[in-house]
Amino acid sequence: MTNDPAKTADQGSWGLETRLVHGGSLRSQFAETSEALYLTQSYVYASAEEAEERFKSEAGFIYSRYANPTVAMFEERMRLIEGAEAARATATGMAAVTSALLCFLKAGDHIVAARAMFGSCLYVAQELCPRFGIACTLVDGRDTGAWARAARPNTRAFFFETPANPTLDLVDIAAVSEIAHKAGALVIVDNVFATPLMQKPLQLGADVVVYSTTKHIDGQGRCLGGAILCSQKFLKDHLHTFLRQTGPALSPFNAWVMLKGLETLPVRVRAQCDSAARIADHLAGRPGILRTLYCGRPDYPQAALARRQMSGFGQVVTFEIAGGKPAAFRFLNTLRLIRISNNLGDAKSLITHPATTTHQRLKPEARAELGISDGMLRLSVGLESVSDLAADLDRALAAAAGAAR
């Protein structure tokens, strides 16, 4: 396996779109155009001495739980587009979250996490970590002062997603990172809603960024995956050995699918964001809509922060309809084009009812504290015609109005 001739160029000087197509490419002796898919568990050595040296130096491939050529290409491409020193892929987004936290935390440590997060992220921070003696304090991530008040002498990490699922709450990455570093803590940001195209947490002061590549990076509902972006120091001191020994490895096939997804990421995401902005405007003020949340709208509560730290506003629109759960279910069951699914970032428009899906494990009072009502719906806008999506939504709104009466 050899480097692509393009590897000799300064990849850091390439435009984003070029990095997404060519970054990290390797070529076999057959000089294939598309990245090669290496479905292999292990590798052979010309001699016992070579095997000994490879295990000793960790240079080259040993076992695909440790590293794989196709996965390595995906990791390098993710590193290039994020602007990170290092990248490692994982089997899922939650494997990325869990590994990023547990690889360096230990009993007696403390983390501060935003209250508004995906349900599984809340589970890891609030329930899993304490089982291992790692205390957790949840705060209102929008309140910058709350992060400083929650920090303790043993605080090792601040963890949050921004925009948050499903309320789209934002955390001021630069301000919170400054607070964390003064307290001696690392900042871990789940950047999945913004994608690496629209928000750069590392440039704003964060230390580690995690993704569910299942979402926009695949973008077509095919494969699971995750990624961790970090410094070489974090990789060497904490993450490298943890991943090797615990084994949350990304399948080479899934890595190959993700590589293909990255090639079209800007085209898809920009179109989806444009459509989402139009859909948000369409929904706002419609009869039966109590509120519409979209980071790019002027009436979004944190619009100024969104403009300051994001270069685009995503393809998720969250809205609340009158009539609670009965009206929300009538709305969902009337849709013909938009599909009911808890995924997001797909080429197809997908919608879910957070109170009974992604956040159903939370107690009603906890959902209320987050602003997740029984009438809230999270819409991930896809690549369909906006006029078709609007017609589907209007038809469902009319049905929901009947349920609300």
Span 24-62, pLDDT tens digits = 999 988 899 999 999 999 999 999 999 999 999 988 999
Domain boundary among 206, 239, 263: 263
Based on the fold, state whether residues 279 and 315 are members of the same structural domain. yes
Q: Tell me how far apart the alpha carbons of residues 377 and 374 are, in angstroms, rounded to a whole number.
A: 9
Q: How many CB atoms lie within 10 A of CB 263?
A: 15
Q: In this structure, is residue 2 part of a structural domain? A: no
pLDDT of residue 9: 57
Span 342-394, pLDDT tens digits = 999 999 999 999 999 999 988 999 999 999 999 999 999 999 999 999 999 99
pLDDT of residue 404: 53
More confident residue, 2 or 145: 145
More confident residue, 5 or 129: 129
Based on the fold, state whether residues 297 and 337 are members of the same structural domain. yes
Based on the fold, state whether residues 310 and 207 are members of the same structural domain. no
Based on the fold, state whether residues 188 and 243 are members of the same structural domain. yes
Domain boundary among 263, 295, 314: 263
What's the whole-number average pLDDT of the chain?
95
Instruction: Tell how strand 316-321 and strand 339-340 pair up.
Output: unpaired
Q: In this structure, is residue 3 part of a structural domain? A: no
Cis peptide before 163 (omega within 30 of 0): yes
Q: Residue 173's domain spans which residues?
A: 12-263
Q: In this structure, is residue 5 part of a structural domain? A: no
Span 203-220, pLDDT tens digits = 999 999 999 999 999 999
Domain CATH code at residue 340: 3.90.1150.10
Based on the fold, state whether residues 373 and 400 are members of the same structural domain. yes
pLDDT at position 6 over 80 = no
Location of structure tokens 């789209």: 168
Based on the fold, state whether residues 237 and 287 are members of the same structural domain. no
Span 113-170, pLDDT tens digits = 999 999 999 999 999 999 999 999 999 999 999 999 999 999 999 999 999 999 999 9
Span 169-192, pLDDT tens digits = 999 999 999 999 999 999 999 999
Q: Which pTM does this prediction carry?
A: 0.95
Average pLDDT over every residue of 190-199 = 97
Span 67-110, pLDDT tens digits = 999 999 999 999 999 999 999 999 999 999 999 999 999 999 99
Based on the fold, state whether residues 322 and 334 are members of the same structural domain. yes
Based on the fold, state whether residues 258 and 302 are members of the same structural domain. no
Q: In this structure, is residue 6 part of a structural domain? A: no
Residue 243 pLDDT class (50, 70, 90 cuts): very high
Domain boundary among 231, 263, 295: 263
pLDDT at position 226 over 90 = yes
Based on the fold, state whether residues 300 and 361 are members of the same structural domain. yes
What backbone torsions phi and psi does residue 227 show, to the nearest 5 degrees? -150, 145
What is the H or E stretch that residue 93 is in? Answer: helix 93-102
Annotate 23-75 with three-state secondary structure: CCCEECCCCCCCCCCCCCCECCCCCHHHHHHHHHHCCCCCECCCCCHHHHHHH
Q: In this structure, is residue 1 part of a structural domain? A: no
Q: What percent of the chain has pLDDT over 90?
A: 91
Count of domains for the chain: 2
Instruction: Specify the 3-state DSSP secondary structure of 227.
Output: strand
Domain CATH code at residue 148: 3.40.640.10
Q: In this structure, is residue 7 part of a structural domain? A: no
Q: In this structure, is residue 287 part of a structural domain? A: yes
Q: In this structure, is residue 186 part of a structural domain? A: yes
Based on the fold, state whether residues 234 and 120 are members of the same structural domain. yes
Based on the fold, state whether residues 79 and 22 are members of the same structural domain. yes
Residue 8 pLDDT class (50, 70, 90 cuts): very low
pLDDT at position 10 over 90 = no
Based on the fold, state whether residues 52 and 171 are members of the same structural domain. yes
